[in-house]
Amino acid sequence: MPVLTREEAQNRARLIEVHRYTVELDLTRGDELFGSTTTIRFHAREAGADTFVELNPAALHRAVLDGHELDLAAAPLADGRLPLTALAQGEHELRVETDMRYSRTGEGMHRFTDPADGETYLYTMCCMSDAGSVFAAFDQPDLKAVFDARVTAPPEWTVLGNGIATRVGDPAEGRWELAATPPISTYLVALAAGPYHSVRTEHAGLPFGLHVRRSLAPYLEDDAEELFDITRRCFDRYHEIFEEPYPFDSYDQAFVPEFNFGAMENPGLVTLRDEFIYRSAVTDAERQTRAMVIAHEMAHMWFGDLVTMTWWDDIWLNESFAEYMGYQVLTETTRYTDIWADFGVRRKNWGYDADQRPSTHPVAPAPEQVPDTAAARLNFDGISYAKGASALRQLVTWLGEKDFLQGINRHFARHRFGNATLADFIDSLAHGSDRDVHAWADTWLRTTGVDTLTPAITTHGDRWSAEIRHDGGGDGTDPAPRPHRIAIGLYDHEPAAAHQLVLRKRLEAELNGAEPTLTLSFTGPRPDLLLLNDGDLSYAKVRLDPGSWKTVVRSLSGLPDAVSRAVVWNAARDMVRDGELPPTDYLEAVRAHLPRETDIAIVQGVLAFARTQIADRYLPAEQRPAALATLGATCRDLLRRTEDNSGPGLRLAAVRGFIESATAPAGLSDWLDGDTVPGGPALDPELRWQVLGRLAVLGAIGPAEIDAELARDSSATGQEGAARCRAALPDPDAKQAAWDALFGTADEPSELSELSNYLVTATATGFWQPEHHELLTDYLPRYFPAAAEVAARRGPAIADAVARSGFPTTVDTRTLELGEECLRRDDLLPALRRRLADQLDDLRRALRVQRRQEERGSGA
């Protein structure tokens, strides 16, 4: 679809008001097309108005305005827009009859055939500008309307939508009607259809449902009560803190295949990726992540659905709030009481990394920074989610929870079923508070970059002082530090247990942003560890003074609180990324302390950074085998520690880490042959594909073994595992086949593959391997032109996949030069340009870290 500019949206919102959509869909027309007829009732505010509806059909059959056929020859559909010219002032009715194309990229109306049983499933993804690929629409968030739908589907199918779906007429005809919604935005319209397996219940007088494709039915049955329990707990907690009740008539959660995001907050019908229905063993941290997604999407029923941003520059009003509320509500209502540690090591780093790239942007960008929908699409990132949530957590700390909740309830009351801006929200918060919330918004939401807090400790006899330097993290245009309210933890070694730390005192400090330093003085001996931002309540990189770092090296795993340990691990991570700590020193800390770590989220986060960044990118190639050996030994220690099955989640994380760090096939081949890890766990499908993937990289298996495993597991995830393994084989023919599947053949480069979005990701992930750099040399100069071509042809979802999962793993200046040359093209799809720019910035950072590591090794 073409982009919609902010100016066009403002003009259209000034000219028209939309009342109601009636959407009629016929899903019985075959594998490629579905019928879509849309009736829109709207009001033109002035005579002679010209406007348009978004529409991206395979065929446009008729368009009837106020009973008169539009002359499609005189005013044809062009660039996804159907013009409506010289409208009379007053009420209008537009009826548009089309055939639409199914999608295989997770956009519009996605169609999936399950290889496990041949059944077909559909679902819509209209966010953020794909509604016109499903129905004719005035597709912008501030033109809310009532929606009702009528659907014809194969009679054995189930139909789900934003409102309660009811089968009508003869069951053999497969006709359904969906209850009318309250006013919602076009990007939130949702439908799912297919032979879904459903588990239903009722809570607080509303129907609740869980839905999956039939081949996943046994796994949903196993998890249904846990999922419902989380859903009920979150629902009840939101009703305790929000004065506005849940605004829709039902709450369905459909776990759908090949979904591009974690989930989508469609009112009444949340869609989630069906990897959240676990076929294989998972850690408690992964169940915690699933619970957070459930809590996040439910928060959107208020933040985003009840009150919606006016334009896409305020997506943080949706995402930052849902992110913050999701974590906070889980902490308050479920067994996941340490979930802020997970936020620190997994989500917050996403924000920190994004905020240090040239592509960073304010949490709340200026209007000119989001001129159109293509620019807005790029802002669904670590800034709008993790940084925004971090800023809100700091706001709650600074403002007080009572005033914060009063402000958001005031916001809901003022704008229910309408649209709002940053200014509207800040006004709601500021009303009744003695804090300068407008100034807070200017410093936290309108600026970019990460502040850095650095302590320096000085001792004076029986006294000591800590000077905290506060450096702004702006990009040169926003260098001023922000105000922070932080906790400072003072820790000492436990006399009876040398590697244990005990909290001497935790104090609060305010850094006002105006002064570059804050000095605190104390009586008595200095603490063994001074930890800034203990509790992780603010958004800032922190440093450790030399004495505290020595304590960390000795006793990091002895810190009593998981969030405190997450803050320290993040500090070490940032120091590596900024060239202040040798990557090998980080690995030494991993080797010493990860085997004693008890928080699974920390174990998984630290192993992921050490494996994918330090071993694969930050160390020179000749040091990589030693790094992998260190990680393998660490995982073996975790396995020995959990031999009594006292920590099954930790053991599973260790098994996965050991597989990914293996440099020889012997042990893994034994596991595969025995179908188990000695002492457990048994190899379930996920672990078997992971072992096969690593053996493929090492050249220890071939196509025959992959085909045999696919015969054993012919599911959709099995298909993805096989594609990943085939692309990972260190064989010229295998690499060429994978390349052709991604980008087309050498003879016919324009005949591009129609791999689904998930198979593109799986193939791209397998293709580039650090072990295969010599084999892949000739593909490097071909990658950037091929990525540009496939992005232009297949759209943003595929553009993101080939740039995120298919970016070359080679850390060298040649890759950087070729990438920079590609960015000088003026025809790149914005989604591809943004992702490539980020990848290249990460590559520059990796090259800097490598150079610093080499300088240390040479004594320079």
Omega within 30 of 0 (cis) for the link into 365: no
φ/ψ of 684, rounded to 5, equals -85, 175
3-class secondary structure, 700: coil
**3-class DSSP state for residue 561?**
coil
Q: Do the bridges between strand 146-152 and strand 175-178 make them parallel or antiparallel, or are there none, so unpaired?
A: antiparallel
Instruction: Spot the catalytic one: 265, 297, 709, 720.
Output: 297
Tell me if residue 101 falls in helix, strand or coil: strand
- Token pair, residue 761, equals 């990701």
Helix axes of 780-794 and 830-858: crossing angle, nearest 10 degrees: 150
Task: For residues 729 and 738, give the distance between their C-alpha atoms in angstroms, rounded to a whole number.
Answer: 10
The CA-based angle 126-258-54, given to 5 degrees, is 20
Q: Are 760 and 802 in contact (CB under 8 A)?
A: yes
Integer angstrom CA distances of residue 69 from 58, 75, 81, 349, 452: 19, 11, 17, 55, 63
Active site residue 258: no
Token reading at 833 = 């340009």
Instruction: Count CA atoms within 13 Å of residue 767 on its CB side.
Output: 29
3-state SS assignment for residue 452: strand
Beta bridge partners of 271: 254, 264
Q: What are 215's two structure tokens?
A: 């081949």
- The tokens for 638 are 């975790």
Question: Partners of 460 in the beta sheet?
Answer: 463
> Comparing C-alpha atoms, which of 489, 526, 488, 529 is closest to residue 509?
488
**Using an 8 Å Cβ cutoff, are 552 and 529 in contact?**
yes
DSSP secondary structure of 271-310 = EEEGGGS-SS---HHHHHHHHHHHHHHHHHTTBTTTEEES
681 preceded by cis ω (within 30°)?
yes
Structure tokens at 301: 């029923």
- Tokens of residue 615, six digits: 């071993």
Cβ atoms within 10 Å of 711's Cβ, excluding its own = 10
Q: Point out the residues that are catalytic.
A: 297
